[in-house]
Amino acid sequence: MRNSNRESTNRFWCTLLGTGALAAVACSANEAEPGKLTLLPAEFIAAVEVPLSVSVSVALVDSSTACVVESYEVRVVCVRNDGSTIGVFGREGEGPGEFDGALRLLRGSNRRVGVSDGDRLTIFEPSGTILSSVQVPFLLRPMAPFAQSVTGSYSVRVDGSYRTFVTELDAESGEELWERALLHPSELGLPMECERGYTTGALGPAGRMAFATCQSVLVLWDGDDVVTFRDPTYASELPSEKDMEIHRERWRLAFGAPPSESEMLAYAERPKWVTAGSRSLIYDDWGRLWVALQRDRHEFSYFSIFSDTTYVGSVRVRDRIEGYDLLGSTLAVLVERLPDDPAGIPGRGVDWYRFEPPGPN
């Protein structure tokens, strides 16, 4: 069991978490006041418009090049922060260089980009040249940049509920190197409903894994040790009109018909989760955990940053964050730009920022 200090302001929360069946669960508290942010500097560098898409995936190839998914054309577009396009590749299909299913992007070493679709992972140069293609678990969600191997999570339905597994695969052959099942949130004794299980996770230093679950709960898995804590900046927030609009559209795309009135009413009354986007948790090069938040997301969007379980501060960026990636001190943010005219079509872009790396301890 990992021991954590329990401050009086969070004692009730920690006591509830400590009642779970898993002995290794611990609770960590820090001093931030709920809903309050400590903003850290981030210098705006450049903005580039990219094609409209329902995908929220973005991957940095290098500090000035990012790739995004153009879902309506089922292809990948790679752009530089000066506005130039260096690669457009892919189309709908099942052959080499073609895609069939939801696309997820992942940065690789040596300026490679991985594209996960269905049960395949294809590795490209940003120009579109295919380097390799392997079979992976269906809808694999990559958790970290890849080199010789790729680590990701996937979910399958077991005994009526979804279970999450993490696996590491050889990037060239697809051979499974290891796999482990994660405990369902209910097995951690969490005091709230967790039917959705976990978000896409992040793989950090020395194999530590981070996930989000249960609206505002963050979970760190380190070997057999599990630490559960909350983002102290989280404040319960109901969906906005824009959130409702996006939920309605994504439901229509997923199921071929608009959601029912009862579904929309239930969504409107359900507080947002703390996290935004499909890959909302990423470790930076200094081992700090970044969490993209659903907070606000109108004129500005926010990230919470943690060292272990300690909140270090927040970064604010403009527009509505959909996805992001980190490379060194470069932050690339895929955003939806809300039009001045409410009846207008939102734009889409990638914004580049430079943030301050942590100073010496």
Q: For residue 177, is it within any domain?
A: yes
Residue 361 is predicted with a pLDDT of 59
Residue 355 is predicted with a pLDDT of 96
DSSP track, 200-218: --EE-GGG-EEEEETTTEE
Residue 192 is predicted with a pLDDT of 54
Q: Structural domain tally of the chain?
A: 1
- Asked if 106 and 92 count as a contact pair (C-beta separation under 8 A), the reply is no
DSSP track, 117-180: ETTEEEEE-TTS-EEEEEE-STT-EE-S-BSSEEEEEEEEEETTEEEEEEEEEETTT--EEEEE
CATH of the domain at 218: 2.120.10.30
Q: In this predicted model, what pLDDT tens digit does every residue of 70-91 receive, in sequence order?
A: 998 999 999 999 999 999 999 9
Q: In this predicted model, what pLDDT tens digit does every residue of 218-276 receive, in sequence order?
A: 999 987 788 989 899 888 888 888 788 878 877 876 677 889 999 999 889 888 878 88
- Asked if 330 and 341 count as a contact pair (C-beta separation under 8 A), the reply is no
For residue 125, how many other CB atoms are within 10 A of its CB? 18
Residue 235 is predicted with a pLDDT of 82
User: Is the model's pLDDT at 16 over the cut of 60?
Assistant: no
Q: In this predicted model, what pLDDT tens digit does every residue of 106-133 receive, in sequence order?
A: 999 999 999 999 899 999 999 999 999 9
Q: In this predicted model, what pLDDT tens digit does every residue of 298-345 receive, in sequence order?
A: 789 999 999 999 999 999 999 999 999 999 999 999 999 877 766 677
User: What is the pLDDT confidence band of residue 101, given thresholds at 50, 70 and 90?
Assistant: confident
Q: For residue 247, is it within any domain?
A: no
Q: For residue 99, is it within any domain?
A: yes
Q: In this predicted model, what pLDDT tens digit does every residue of 275-292 receive, in sequence order?
A: 887 789 999 999 999 999
Q: Distance from CA of residue 122 to its chain's centroid?
A: 20
Residue-range definition of the domain harbouring residue 28: 8-237+272-355
Interatomic CA distance for residues 348 and 252, integer angstroms = 20
Interatomic CA distance for residues 324 and 52, integer angstroms = 16
Residue 4 is predicted with a pLDDT of 35
- Tokens 């958790």: give the residue: 143
Q: For residue 160, is it within any domain?
A: yes
Averaged pLDDT of the chain: 84
Q: For residue 242, is it within any domain?
A: no
Residue 67 is predicted with a pLDDT of 97
Q: For residue 251, is it within any domain?
A: no
- Who wins on pLDDT, 3 or 67? 67
Q: For residue 244, is it within any domain?
A: no
Q: For residue 266, is it within any domain?
A: no
